[in-house]
A and B are shown apart, each in its own frame.
Chain A
Amino acid sequence: MSESAFAVETKDLTQRFGRFTAVDRVTMTVAKGEIYGFLGANGAGKTTTIRILCGLLRPTSGSAFVNGHDVIRYPERVKAGIGYMSQKFSLYEDLRVRDNLVFFGGIYGLGRERIEQRIAEITSATGLTELLTRKVRGLPTGWKQRLALACAVLHDPGIIFLDEPTGGVDPVSRRTFWDFIYSLADAGKTIFVTTHYMDEAEYCHRIAIMYQGRILMCDSPSAIRESTGDALLEDAFIRLITRESDTETGGD
């Protein structure tokens, strides 16, 4: 089972909070080495889906396999092989950059030498080397975001989940950030990213357009634009969502 061809595979994944359905029968597959994007407005259910896939949340129904492991039944089998960067980059602000990296390496069970080696690799790739002894508090958002990513990938996971990783970050930092993501994908990592920025969605190999907990369409950005006949992804996105809400009200 762990030799599955897919990095992520879900079937009818559903999450209800009381009577509200946050994730509605989501079925998808993400190939290994793919950059897969979740595009949707706030409240579409992106974060909830990611939290299920990371083993933080137990879904109401449906199945989810990550790295070939059933994440609902055996979340601990999945955990060592994934990296997760949550929506608000969660770092220890009172500690130094280096302390944060050492800590996240440590909780994944990495030995001291391995941690040092990985810190050297990652900080040179992200440009964090100069800042190692700086306290996190006071760093510009762009640097914090890079550090959060560095922490999430220090243990060299095969799949990396990024939940709106570039929120509130300037365009230049966003660009460097994506360069790093590409280098990870080139190294064979699977990237699962959520966003509501259209330019960012364009960077993905495939995107799933999410609306009210459901995936409306999933394809490459160019295929989605072609299917609606729009030149811009944003127009295509809006067209798809308007169409959907129209059929809803029409059906009532």
Chain B
Amino acid sequence: MQRLRAIMKKELLHIIRDVRSLTIIFLLPLIMLVLYGYAIRLDLKNIPLAVWDADNSQESRELIRAFTHSGYFTLTLHAITPVDPLEVFQERRAKSVLAIPVDYGARLHDGRAIPVQFLSDASESNTATIAGQYAEQIILSRLMSRFGTDAPLPDVRALVLFNPELESKVFVVPGLVAILFMMICALMTSITIAREKETGTLEQILVSPVRTAEIIIGKLFPYMFLASLIGVVVILIAIFWFGAPFVGSPLLLAVFSIVYLLCSLAIGILISTRVRTVQVAMMAALVITMLPSIMLSGFVFPIASMPLPIRILTHIVPARYFLVIIRGIMLKDASLYLLRFQILPLCILTFILLVVSIRRFRTTLE
């Protein structure tokens, strides 16, 4: 116990004394989060809009003016002849297209339903979602100004092209947590062990009566603690600043976070047994953990749209499972049963990695 405490305390000192790394570890997720939040807000002024005004009447021009006056949209193309939205999006002439039917003015007079079409380029999913919401609001307020409070609600039907898994910012937060856990645990632990190898202090520890288990637990516990702390901070900011929902059980999330953290730590140990220098450890950790966690977990690209070999490969990326688990718990109150196909593989993966890494760690030390 004495020895375990000595190692933990020393590791904590390393973390605290290294103000620069600590700042980066804490600020990076916050910067990512804030950037993400503000990027949306900045983008959402002056969304380039193309209009196909088939009616070209007094009423249709009023509708267009309502769009431009709102400040959310800037007119980049105004045509009376048909506009091909795909072409417009591909040529980046506009991010949204408003199509007004030929009998718009007449239908408005008669109070008949009007099929106005509003299309958005969903390859920028957030812009698309929010542009759609603005359009809906503008049309609604137009209707209200004409019909008063008993105006008919616009019947909005969304059809998403290009990016079928519409992700909003609330989806980013869970992904961020998954990546941060991986980064702090795998990257930092492999670096600290490699650093002790490089400076020779590991040898100094090994001549003492300290046991392997004490080294591993003592070294890793502080990083698990740090990672959890940052995870909590990020989730709290997401909830209270960005209004992300948290409808599931925090306890359940805590339990699986620990499993996932252990998994990341095991990978970190495994890397450290194979390398001799901090530089190599850093490179290896980036390639083995960070990149797959970002690219192959479904965080950036939907797994369903990956080619088959890559899709198979994603099954050994722990972040893939944890991402679904944390999203499920935070956003949908998913139950254990519902998440069983994520929980089971994650636990198995973690167990195997832990056993292999500790065994390897022990033999390489001898």
Residues of A within 8 A of B (CB): 54-56, 58, 76, 79-80, 82, 84, 86-88, 90-95, 99, 102-111, 151
CB <8 Å contact, A107 and B205: yes
B216 to chain A, nearest CB (A): 14
CA A80 to CA B2, docked complex, whole Å: 14
A92 and B201 alpha carbons, distance in the complex (Å)? 7
Task: Using A90-B200, A106-B2, A106-B3 as known contacts, say yes or no to A79 and B208 having CB atoms under 8 A apart.
Answer: yes
Could you tell me the dominant secondary structure of chain A's interface residues? loop
Q: How far is the CB of B9 from chain A (nearest CB, A)?
A: 7
User: Within 8 Å of chain A (Cβ to Cβ): is B213?
Assistant: no
B2, B5, B7, B204: the one within 8 Å of A90 (CB): B204
A196 to B25, CA, bound (A): 46
Nearest first, the 4 closest Cβ-Cβ pairs linking A and B are A106-B6, A90-B200, A90-B201, A84-B207
Shortest distance from the beta carbon of A84 to any chain B beta carbon, whole Å: 4
Give the one of B3, B6, B7 with max A CB within 10 A: B6
Which of the residues B204, B206, B366 comes within 8 Å of A104, measured between beta carbons?
Answer: B204
Which residue in chain A gives the minimum CB-CB distance to B1?
A109
14 additional contacts, CB 8 Å, given A90-B201, A106-B3? A55-B207, A58-B366, A79-B207, A79-B208, A84-B204, A86-B200, A95-B13, A99-B10, A102-B6, A102-B9, A106-B2, A106-B9, A107-B6, A111-B2
CB-CB under 8 A from B201, the residues of chain A are 90-92
A106 touches B207 (CB 8 A): no
Are the C-beta atoms of B208 and A103 separated by less than 8 Å? no
Residues of chain B within 8 A of A55, CB atoms compared: 207
Contacts of A110 in B (CB 8 A): 2
A131 to chain B, nearest CB (A): 17
Q: A51 to B2, alpha carbons, bound, how many Å? A: 26
B307 within 8 A of A: no
Q: In chain B, what residue has the closest Cβ to A76?
A: B209
Nearest opposing residue in chain A for B200, CB measure: A90
Q: How far is the CA of A87 from the CA of B207 in the complex (A)?
A: 14
> For residues 1 through 33 of chain B, which have their beta carbon under 8 Å from a beta carbon of chain A?
2-3, 5-7, 9-10, 13-14, 17-18
Query: B204: which A residues are within 8 A, CB to CB?
Result: 84, 86, 90, 104, 151
In the complex, the chain B residue whose C-beta lies closest to that of A148 is B204
Residues of A within 8 A of B206 (CB): 56
- Say how far A167's CB is from chain B's closest CB, in angstroms: 13
| Complex-state Cα separation, A87 to B210, whole angstroms | 21
B169-215 interface (Cβ within 8 A of A): 199-201, 203-210
Residue pair A107, B7 in contact (C-beta under 8 Å): yes
CA distance A240 to B302 in the complex (A): 73
| Residues of chain B at interface, number, CB under 8 A | 23
> Do B199 and A93 have beta carbons less than 8 Å apart?
yes
- Contact status of A95 and B207, CB under 8 A, knowing A103-B6, A106-B5: no
Contact (Cβ within 8 A) A94 B199: no
Cβ-closest chain B residue relative to A57? B366
A89 to B, closest residue via Cβ: B200
Report the minimal beta-carbon distance from B164 to chain A, rounded to whole angstroms. 49
- Contact B17–A95 (Cβ < 8 Å): yes
Contact with A along B205-233 (1 / 0, CB 8 A): 11111100000000000000000000000
CB-CB under 8 A from B7, the residues of chain A are 103, 106-107
Q: In the complex, A110→B208 CA distance in Å?
A: 12
Contact at A109–B209, with CB atoms within 8 Å? yes
Alpha-carbon distance between A56 and B17 when the two chains are bound, in angstroms: 30
Centre residue among B9, B201, B366 by max chain A CB count within 10 A = B201
Q: Once the chains bind, are B199 and A103 in contact (CB under 8 Å)?
A: no
Name the distance in Å between A43's Cβ and chain B's nearest Cβ: 18
Could you say which residues of chain A place their CB within 8 Å of the CB of B6? 102-103, 105-107
CA distance A165 to B38 in the complex (A): 58
* Alpha-carbon separation in the docked complex, A93 to B17 (Å): 11
Could you jot down 6 A-B contacts, CB within 8 Å?
Answer: A54-B207, A79-B208, A90-B204, A106-B6, A106-B7, A107-B208
Contact (Cβ within 8 A) B14 A107 = no
Chain A proximity of B130: nearest CB distance (Å): 46
**A80 B209 Cβ-Cβ under 8 A:** yes
